[in-house]
Structure 1
Amino acid sequence: MFDITLGLVGVGKIVRDQHLPAIAETPGCRLRATADPHASLAEVPAYADMAAMLDAHPEIEAVAICTPTDLRHAQARLALSRGKHVLLEKPPGATLSEVEDLIGVANQQGVTLFAAWHSRFAPGVAEARQWLAERRIERVEIVWKEDVRVWHPGQAWIWQPGGMGVFDPGINALSIATEILPQPFFLRRARLLVPSNCQTPIAAELSFSDPEGATIGAEFDFRQSGPPTWDIHVDTDAGSLSLTQGGCRLSIAGQRVREEAEREYVGLYARFAELIASGRREVDVAPLRHVADAFMYGQRDAGEAFFE
């Protein structure tokens, strides 16, 4: 068992819904304090900023940074420079340049930096990757739709530059696709629907291909009503595979192979502990690079104003 004394930076919805339960289930992981100017937890010391938290608790060995993306680079850089291990909520930064800088600082300091793509820890992902590794991919369909009012209530930052809009959930789909598909893939076309009063898209349609000619289509939409749709379907030369319910259900050739409850963040913290114990870093920027490509290469269409 490897013990971690942890500080949490940011105490928003994702922390309360996912991080806190996962930390409680991770053997040896002890939450010592939080840093957030607007929120706190009753059971642990709270500070307005991370520097104050680290000054007051030098025993903190690692921090999980769960703030909006435009704040993460400065916070992560400070933590790394103080010799702390860092877990970055997805996406790991507002820009690729920021993430590359953090990788360099982590290497210099000899500490762990973990870009935490939580959807990769869904129950069916590892088995899907293993099965697809020996198949030729012919076609991939990704459908990732949810109601922004349910999953991001009152989070105005998501519509501002760096907030990513529908790519905030869409990047989860891309993190799974880049994990399970055996070949890299590249953006060919993109259409981004941007509300007239927002800076980021509410919906997106993407077309990719891989070096062997497979076609990969993705449809992201924040306007879903009712239950979300988080599905990936893959046609191969040896049959089809479907990861649905965000990766909780895996079907191969029409037969259900795995269906389990979502426990992504438990797996995520177990991986963080493993990386710290072995002195390694894990920062895959492929999902973020695909989003950056879409913003750079995509056609922007103006849509109706969005009001929550």
Structure 2
Amino acid sequence: MKVLLTGCNGQVGYCLAEQLKKISNVELLAFDKEQLDIVDTEQVNNIVSEKKPDIIINAAAYTAVDKAEAESQLAYSINHIGAKNLAEAATKVGALLIHISTDYVFPGTKEGLYTESDQTGPVSVYGRSKLDGENAIIASCAKYIIIRTAWVFGEHGHNFVKTMLRLAKTNKQLKVVSDQQGGPTYAGDIAKAIVAIAVKFMKEETVAYGLYHYSGLPHVTWSDFAREIFNKAKDKNVLADIPQVIDIATTDYPTPAQRPKNSKLNTERITQEFDIQASDWQIALNSIADYKS
């Protein structure tokens, strides 16, 4: 089986490359953004038609949520046009496209958990660009799996865990937003879920195409997540002293991009279809000593 991976140096892409390398019957074709610009329609078509992958995994994305407000054209080109290019190329060669999306496609106004069929309504440029990417895939791809995830963190790349550890070294107190809720999700677990779906497809088993949610449990606020990070860091001797976390409202920490207050995703469908369990971010934090800022 040939698997073409984009964004192989990103948080999830790096984990995907590491995991796919270990599967004996997989020929991995891993590309970073310098090697494959997914916005370049001609380059995407040429590479996909030449390599003829069985599976395309798109881990490339513009993820700078606040910067996207000022760089909307760049965000849309990568998250919308890039996804569209890969979807059309995948259809031409009969490949399965697995694409990573986000909780930010929702407005965050719902009380309970968001399901795959809930009404979308992104409140940021980033969210709108990712939703446009989803819609482009649905409209033009014959075989696709779109996985919406949330609050991604891991040992590789930039993320909330690394930011908190860096700030903890020079601050005795940290103010962290306490009125946004979601499920922190370990990048390695997202990769593991995608690989499980890919393997099922490789075995020529029936795969239910469509939208899926995959994120971590338990759901927490950013401030609660920060406290868990610091407690784990102290337990693992990463930090000698941990800062006091002070709860603040979103309005007390204005950012260029608006965030959904509720990012809690219902992950039952992916469990039912693929026997994939939600990410346990508390267990994932056991490797916190490997999080180099």
Q: TM-score, normalised by structure 1?
A: 0.40
Flag the structure with higher helix content.
2
Flag the structure with higher strand content.
1
Q: TM-score, normalised by structure 2?
A: 0.42
